[in-house]
Amino acid sequence: MEPMQLLVEVLNQTQLIESVDESQDTPDNQDASVEEAPQVEALEEEIERAPGGRNEEGTEVLDVANAEPVHVATPDHANKNQEVDEVPNIDAPPISIHDSHNYRRTTRSGRVPRYTDRYVEYMESFGNAASTDPAPKRSSFFELEVDEPQTYKQAVESRYAEQWLPAFKAEYDSQIKNKSWVLIPKSHVPTECAILPHKWVGKYKPGYGDPLQPDFVAPRFKGRLTVVGCHQQYGVDYEETYAPVPRLDSIRSVLSLTASLGYKSFHFDVATAFLNADVDKPIFMTQPEGFVVSGKEDHVCKLLKAVYGIKQAPRLWCKTFIAALLRYGFKALDADMCVFILVNNSIVSYLFIWVDDGWFSSSSDEECQRFATWIGNEFEVRCLPPTRFVGINIEYDRENSQVFLSQQHSILKALKQFGMTDSHPKLTPAESSVHLSSSMVPRNEGKVDMSLIPYRAAVGFLLYLSSTTRPDIAYSVGQVSKFCENPQPAHWNAVKRIFAYLKGTLDFGIWLGGRKDEGAVVYTDADYASDVDDRKSISGCIAFYKGGPVAWSCRRQDCVSISTTESEYVSLSDGAKTALWLNALANGLNSFPVPMEKSSGDEAPPNPVKMYCDNQSAICLVKNPVHPRRSKHIDVRYHFVRNLQEDNKIAVEFVSSKDQLADIFTKALPAPRFQELRERIGVGPYEKN
């Protein structure tokens, strides 16, 4: 199906698009819904009387989100001397950012972004080159309601069979071209080796970008041949399986650094990445369904390449990819082996990889082009603009040396998946007056079957979101995640409130960079004995690097503290671990040269990591190695923060409670205080003047 036909299909399948004038309704009086998730809809009446209920009316909403256009440049893998297309221009329109410690202050209202009828008119005029209807201000996703086949038979019987079967054929052809296996008689298979079954799966990838621009990425159907690796036997056809990926903290740190320095970047994707690695054990697979070679029906495939599905495939590919990068001259960082640095005279380049995706940044445009050419000759790749990486939208503000990360499309999909699209937007993700506990029981006990509520799935998505681009929901998500084993209606209502808050802040994300001369700064805080079930304290921590939030945490302390001082001291100890790691990462990036070991003699290392705490007593415990009567019982493992202070690796300083940015991670705050701290930690919308 051609891109034009796919876009027309989007309109044919979408019955209604939410249409509201942006100059009118606010989040408090708008109603918009899609069809409820089947199991949730049947149970909502039982939970409705509790806070967070929703009405029954609404219309279906097109699942559309924002992203920047992507340019595809696939070199001829067979021609090792061919250069890939030019690395795309990554300059983004500037926005205005206040250069104060309040990392982001917005003057915009909290209106939920909505798509109007003009969007339908725009799509209908897609084929009219003379159309004057403006394109959307930001790129949009075009997504069909496609049932993805899990077997070859399902693909044949699908109403999109004309798209799935060619996609499967293309996948088979790529396997043959890559020499992924050889056919041998079944009788030649060693008796100790199992003949593994295979599986065909289909994946629909929605297009994104401006359809009127040449770099628009159209929707596409993708087939994948996989081995059913669960039948492998340890020691026979696999051993080690671990394959690393970078920490999200590392990704944010590199993005914050390169944005503040004004480096140029691009994203690349390695096609059929695993097939570039050779297998390390004898592995046998049945011939792919639909493509059995005539006359060799009794033959099986002896794998030569790490076909998708075998247990060790990610590890084999990772070793192959890293070996290639080391040949190019990159050096892996000790703090994260998936982050690399390359120094060539005065040119500095950074790279991080996530399975088959990579992100390259350099101070030189020529180095960007040179690396793009090299990687295109080593592997079959697509070179893309720096607008999206592993599901995260990325937008640059070159004027202020910042980068904005958001996940609006993922939130929209989750709202629809969990039947939350008709929720009334909330100002905060949690009520400051509600304290969740395991003792909460439903009002109509016995009438609500919580096992039918997708509680774990919803909390799992929220945990992922809070760890990537939404630190503002970290505390509320941490609270609801404690009850996955036995959730009650009150806990589900708390989950619903988080989604309602997300609906009102769809276009929010985090701002990184903007302060190239600023090193690592860490804030720690604690809420004493706030867990109503076991009276353990809650620790909160957030670390900034080059002006942006790169690491944060919200967790219940392991021990029961008997004083506020002890809880703050424990939180400082936990935050010091983050400070040490961030310091090591910055050392590896050669942008924040704080030696991790003491220099020769008695000279102390310069520039310790600054840590801020709002409890004077805890700071005294750090700076004075004494054991007062009320603190002599504190576990010795928490005292290592004293050694770090003595070695000048950290510098603990006092900050007033008003300026304690980690406060947002320790408790549910009233709306004014929550919104103030949310803004100051760098969470907000993407704005343009």
* Token representation of residue 342: 């390359």
Please indicate whether residue 451 or residue 377 has the higher confidence score (pLDDT): 377
- Res 215: pLDDT: 60
* Token representation of residue 482: 């404690």
Question: Based on the domain organization, do 293 and 154 belong to the same domain?
Answer: yes
- Res 109: pLDDT: 44
CB 506 within 8 A of CB 422: no
Please choose, from the candidates 92, 91, 207, the residue with its C-alpha nearest in 3D space to the C-alpha of residue 140.
Answer: 207
pLDDT in tens, 28-40: 444 434 344 444 4
**Residue 20, domain member (yes or no):** no
| Backbone angles phi and psi of 266, in degrees to 5 | -155, 160
Please indicate whether residue 363 or residue 7 has the higher confidence score (pLDDT): 363
State the residue range of the domain holding 616. Answer: 517-678
CATH of the domain at 674: 3.30.420.10
Least confident window among 59-63, 109-113, 486-490, 645-649? 59-63
Q: Per-residue confidence at 544, pLDDT binned at 50, 70, 90?
A: very high
Counted domains in the chain: 2
Q: Distance (Å, rounded) from C-alpha 155 to C-alpha 140?
A: 28
Q: Per-residue confidence at 269, pLDDT binned at 50, 70, 90?
A: very high
Residue 78 reports pLDDT greater than 60 = no
Q: What's the whole-number mean pLDDT along residues 622-642?
A: 73
Q: What's the whole-number mean pLDDT along residues 541-569?
A: 94
Q: Distance (Å, rounded) from C-alpha 380 to C-alpha 336?
A: 26
- Res 111: pLDDT: 44
- Res 438: pLDDT: 87
Question: Which secondary-structure segment (H or E) carries 341?
Answer: strand 339-344
pLDDT in tens, 570-582: 999 999 999 999 9
Q: Per-residue confidence at 171, pLDDT binned at 50, 70, 90?
A: very high
* Single residue among 406, 431, 455 that ends a domain in this structure: 406
Q: Distance (Å, rounded) from C-alpha 194 to C-alpha 230?
A: 11
pLDDT in tens, 270-293: 988 999 999 999 999 999 999 999
pLDDT in tens, 94-144: 333 334 444 444 444 444 343 334 333 333 433 333 333 333 334 444 556
**Residue 614, domain member (yes or no):** yes
Q: What's the whole-number mean pLDDT along residues 637-660?
A: 91
- Report the greatest alpha carbon distance in the chain: 86
Residue 454 reports pLDDT greater than 70 = yes
Q: What angle do CA 543, 662, 540 make, to 5 degrees?
A: 85
Question: Based on the domain organization, do 218 and 359 belong to the same domain?
Answer: yes
User: What integer best gives the mean pLDDT of the chain?
Assistant: 80
What are the distances in angstroms from CA 657 to CA 310, 611, 654, 672?
A: 53, 14, 9, 15
* Single residue among 406, 422, 449 that ends a domain in this structure: 406
Q: What's the whole-number mean pLDDT along residues 361-390?
A: 93
Within 8 A by CB and 6+ apart from 366, the residues are none
Q: Distance (Å, rounded) from C-alpha 474 to C-alpha 663?
A: 12
- Res 364: pLDDT: 94
Residue 488 reports pLDDT greater than 70 = yes
CB 458 within 8 A of CB 495: yes
* Token representation of residue 187: 């009788």
Q: Distance (Å, rounded) from C-alpha 209 to C-alpha 643?
A: 52
Question: Based on the domain organization, do 192 and 331 belong to the same domain?
Answer: yes
Q: Distance (Å, rounded) from C-alpha 104 to C-alpha 101?
A: 8
- Res 439: pLDDT: 83
Question: Based on the domain organization, do 540 and 393 belong to the same domain?
Answer: no
What are the distances in angstroms from CA 158 to CA 127, 148, 162, 600?
A: 28, 9, 9, 71
What are the distances in angstroms from CA 611 to CA 31, 96, 127, 179, 487?
A: 45, 29, 57, 55, 37
Q: What's the whole-number mean pLDDT along residues 46-63?
A: 42
How many residues appear in the chain?
689
**Residue 392, domain member (yes or no):** yes
What global pTM score does this model have? 0.77
**Residue 671, domain member (yes or no):** yes
Question: Based on the domain organization, do 402 and 521 belong to the same domain?
Answer: no
- Res 527: pLDDT: 94
CB 361 within 8 A of CB 350: yes
Q: What's the whole-number mean pLDDT along residues 153-173?
A: 93
Report the 10 Å Cβ neighbour count for 292. 12
- E-strand ranges in 535-623 read 538-545, 548-556, 609-613
Question: Which secondary-structure segment (H or E) carries 370?
Answer: helix 365-378
| Backbone angles phi and psi of 636, in degrees to 5 | -60, -25
User: Residue for token digits 């700064």?
Assistant: 521
- Res 607: pLDDT: 81
